[in-house]
Structure 1
Amino acid sequence: MTTMTTRTVAYPADGLTMVGHLALPAGTDRRPAVLLGPEGMGLSDVERRRADALAELGYVALAFDLHGGRYLSDPEEMLARCVPLLSDPDRMRGIGHAALDVLRAEPRTDPDRIAAVGYGTGGAIGLELGRDGVNLRAIGTVNATITGRPGEAARIRCPVWAGVGSEDPIMSPAQRNAFTAEMQAAGVDWRLTVYGGALHAFHHPPVDHPTVPGVGHHPQHARRAWRDVVDLLAECLPVTEDQSEVQGRLLTEPR
């Protein structure tokens, strides 16, 4: 019995050599693919495991890198890199496009069936790819209700789902209201899920190093957010025609 396989991929972006984690489903056929972005600290085993889980579901998945193979456990170092990055859409798009090129070049990837899922900074990069007009089937973000340059959200060509904790001081109510107003004005098919009582990065397991204020794990909502991501992919990027048919029946309102 064949199983999911993984390999490390190195590629240039943002003046660095990025080191991503590619997970491939069993088989040899082309499959839909997911570009998976990490929180601002960078690529870790958390995202690698998520990519592996997506491969087990039948997707090609690339967990991409933000910091040239480094994980920034020092909050000050992380903020010093991520704050300027998050204020520069062109840099974010450059990082996203470089990873997307790697994913598209994988022979198992169906290049016309790709979604972007990201957390924090990785989610912001996925949104910027959408604002850049990239042909994506879905964009899913957690902790990334970040607005873009005026008018560019109109170039998003797919459904957008965003999840955020109600008590997240970094993605504040005012910020998420601005984000949803941007999506609505652009005519995007958007959804926002607010997880009651959750802080920033509520989806991320506890870490053994200092974090920025307002971060905290919420196990129940972490499970729910993962299910919401999987449901988004099942709806917008089904692995098989059978899955699409079943999902379509489930999404049809009973009468």
Structure 2
Amino acid sequence: MTTVTTRTVEYPADGRTMIGHLALPAGVGRRPAVLVGPEGAGLNDFQRRRADTLAELGYVALAFDINGGHWFSDPEEMLAHALPLLADPDRIRDIGHAALKVLCAEPRTDPDRIAAVGYGTGGAIALELGRDGVDLRAIGTVNALITGRPGEAARIRCPVWAGVGSQDPIMPPAQRDAFTAEMQAAGVDWRLVIYGGALHAFHHPPVEHAVRPGVGYHPRHAQRAWRDVVSLLAECLPMTE
């Protein structure tokens, strides 16, 4: 296994101190880099391990924070925090830009080769960075087919890959249609993968607290979605150019 170095990084965003997880690949040279955005509940070990795995593949990876180091175990408390955030594109862009600044400040990061991958709220942040015109090489989003303000998707300058469960009641067919129509009208290079039978947050292993109805882990599709994310990065962020 490739040696990976990790460290905790603290930085200001959204009026609080965020606590991110930075993972660096072996070596000393600059590498392509990936922002990894968490679900609305916050950053946990699952997404930290995602960053570590990306570092093993050769990427600089920052699993960024959205809740000031807090993990919401109560679904209703999480929604009370996440829904106002999702309704405020400027606010979530600020969170994304703060994380991007941390990633770009890392000397191992190649600032011209950065992608953003996110889950749920973290995916919405990745998309808003694209709609804000950030020069990303790829955007990957799982369970976050969030549409933006009219016309702003035209600023997206990279391929967009999205994954969603077919039985996800939080991202139903009407939401899928609105998202794909937005991407198509903007001329974005987009792909949508619908994982048959999967619910919302199908990618995340079971947690030891109550979850909302319509949320559930699907181990086979979780593996497939991760392979799809890695494939996107391999296509858009090759190790040599």
Task: Sort the TM-score into its range (normalised by shorter chain).
Answer: over 0.9
CA contact (8 A) 2:40 2:82 kept: yes
Report the equivalent of 1:240: 240
Q: Quick one: distance in 2 between partners of 1:225 and 1:240? A: 24
Counterpart-to-counterpart distance in 1, 2:55 and 2:2: 12
Q: Which amino acid aligns with 1:5?
A: T
Partner of 1:246: none
Aligned residue number for residue 248 of structure 1 = none
For each residue in 1:21-47, what CA deviation from the matched residue of structure 2 results, as whole angstroms up to 9, or x when unmatched?
000000000000000000111100000
Say whether the 8 Å CA contact 2:31–2:58 is kept in structure 1: yes
Match of 1:12 in 2: 12
Q: Which residue of 2 aligns with 1:219?
A: 219
Aligned to 2:101: 101
Provide the C-alpha distance between the structure 2 equivalents of 1:220 and 1:2, rounded to a whole number of angstroms.
26
SS of the residue aligned with 1:116?
strand
- Does the 8 A contact of 1:142 with 1:162 survive in 2? yes
Hey, which bits of structure 1, 4+ residues long, moved more than 2 A?
none
Secondary structure class of the residue paired with 2:11: strand
Larger Rg: 1
Counterpart-to-counterpart distance in 1, 2:239 and 2:130: 21
Check conservation: 2:143, 2:171, Cα contact below 8 A: yes
Paired positions, count: 241
Paired position in structure 2 for 1:198: 198
Root mean square deviation, CA, Å: 0.9
TM-score (norm 2): 0.99
Range 232-241 or range 222-231, more displaced? 232-241
Q: CA deviation at 1:10?
A: 0.1
1:10 and 1:33 map into 2 onto residues whose CA distance is: 18
CA distance in structure 1 between the partners assigned to 2:126 and 2:55 by the alignment: 19
Percent identity of equivalent pairs: 83
Q: What secondary structure, in the 3-state scheme, does the structure 2 residue paired with 1:209 have?
A: coil
TM-score, normalised to structure 1, is 0.93
1:44-82 CA-partner distances (Å, limit 9, x unpaired): 000000000000000000000010001111111100110
1:153 and 1:240 map into 2 onto residues whose CA distance is 29
Q: Residue 211 of structure 1: CA displacement?
A: 1.2
2:174 aligns with 174
Alignment pair present for 1:133 and 2:150: no
Of 48-57 and 68-77, more deviation after overlay is shown by: 68-77
SS of residue in 2 equivalent to 1:179 = helix
The runs of 5 or more residues in structure 1 that have no matched partner are 242-255
Alignment of 1:26-175 (within 5 A): 26-175=26-175
Gaps of 5+ in 2: none
